[in-house]
Structure 1
Amino acid sequence: MADADLLAGELRALAGKLKRRLREQADVGDLTPSQRSVLLRLEKDGPATASTLARMESMRPQSMGPIIAALESAGLVRGSPHPTDGRQTILSMTDACRTWLAEGRAARQDWLSRTITARLSPAEQQQLASAITLLRRLVDD
């Protein structure tokens, strides 16, 4: 029987390495982890104010300002007036950002698919499918 602590450590390390390899496959430019996180938050939850984003990202509103400014200057985020509160701005992803995210995901998917096909036999690919089922049980609620 495998030791759960050893399995956990190996799985965590392997997941981190896979994440790094996938990140290498798509151009993330010079975005910081915080900037990437804000973009993914906007993609998942939709348009939001800077203060809402700061709260969702567990940071001070003052810290969100430079993140938003960098994303706006890169053409990834745009602001529009809040419909009921003229003091606030609603931030949303640009079409260019959506395209950039989709292209990045496609590049990562393509790399992983090609790597699985090139490095794993059909039997090993079936073992991987079984392992994915088990991994899904670990993370799904």
Structure 2
Amino acid sequence: MPEPAAESATEATPGPPGGHDETDFGAEFLALERELSVFMRRARASSGELARAVHPDLEPAAYGLLVRLEETGPQRATTLAGYFGVGKATISRQVAALESLGLITRSPDPDDGRASLLQLTSGGHDRFTRVRDARRAKYARRLASWERPEISELARLLHRLNSLGGAEESPGPRG
């Protein structure tokens, strides 16, 4: 009986999911890089506008903390730092700024008296909600020609992209 022919190395070793490897920088990856670059520039500019709409002295980076606190309710600063992938010193500066503007407050953590929970103040919530609602109305106008499933798919894909993290691109948490 003849022996079966040996498989070549490429046949025996399946490629990565999606049919490309990390050295394959085809047109789709160049287009992705270009579109993400434009998207991030616009997002940074928008973040500044949103922050100033909440309070003229609010830093754009701190706006994301308001978003997260509104979504989740009271959180520890360390939990927020982990979520955003930043160091304690960075969160501490942003929290101090938000507190000084009267947008958030601290309360003792009932599960650990040594820790504090951060939450939006009533005024902070009102200001944030007004800006968020205006932003959503703007998105709705800009995406009026899109079908709802397309918007859902975009949100799903952005979530998937954000879930990849960025540890390989950054040297680690910094203060």
Instruction: Name the TM-score class by shorter chain.
Output: 0.5 to 0.7
Aligned pair partner of 1:129 in 146, 149, 165: 146
The CA RMSD over aligned residues, in Å, is 3.3
Which range moved further: 51-60 or 23-32?
Answer: 23-32
What SS does structure 1 have at the residue aligned with 2:150? helix
**What TM-score, normalized by structure 1, do the two folds share?**
0.66
User: 1: distance between equivalents of 2:101 and 2:60?
Assistant: 15
CA deviations 1:5-64 (Å, max 9, x no partner) are: 686545863685488469647714232233111111111122111122212221222322
Matched-pair identity in % = 29
The size of the alignment, in residue pairs, is: 128
Deviations 1:69-92 (A, max 9, x none): 111111111011121322111111
Structure 2 residue 123 is matched with structure 1 residue 107: no
1:13 maps to which residue?
38
Scaled by the length of structure 2, the TM-score of the pair is 0.55
Please tell me whether residue 75 in structure 1 is matched to residue 96 in structure 2.
no
- Aligned partners of 1:23 and 1:108 also within 8 Å: no
Partner of 2:53: 27
Q: Distance in 2 between matches of 1:72 and 1:63?
A: 14
Counterpart in 2 of 1:139? 155
2:91 aligned with 1:91, yes or no? Answer: no
Aligned partners of 1:46, 1:62: CA distance in 2, in Å? 22
Q: Secondary structure at the match of 1:59?
A: coil
Provide closer, same or farther for how the CA distance between residues 22 and 106 of structure 1 changes in structure 2, counting only shifts above 3 A: farther
Equivalent residue, structure 1, for 2:4? none
Q: Which consecutive residues of structure 1, in runs of 5 or more, have no partner in the other structure?
A: 117-124
Q: Which has the higher contact order (CA 8 A, sep 6+)?
A: 1
Greater Cα shift, 102-111 or 54-63: 102-111
SS in 2 for 1:75: coil
Relative to total residues, which structure has the larger helix share, 1 or 2?
1
Larger Rg: 2
Task: Measure, in 1, the Cα distance between the counterparts of 2:37 and 2:49.
Answer: 19
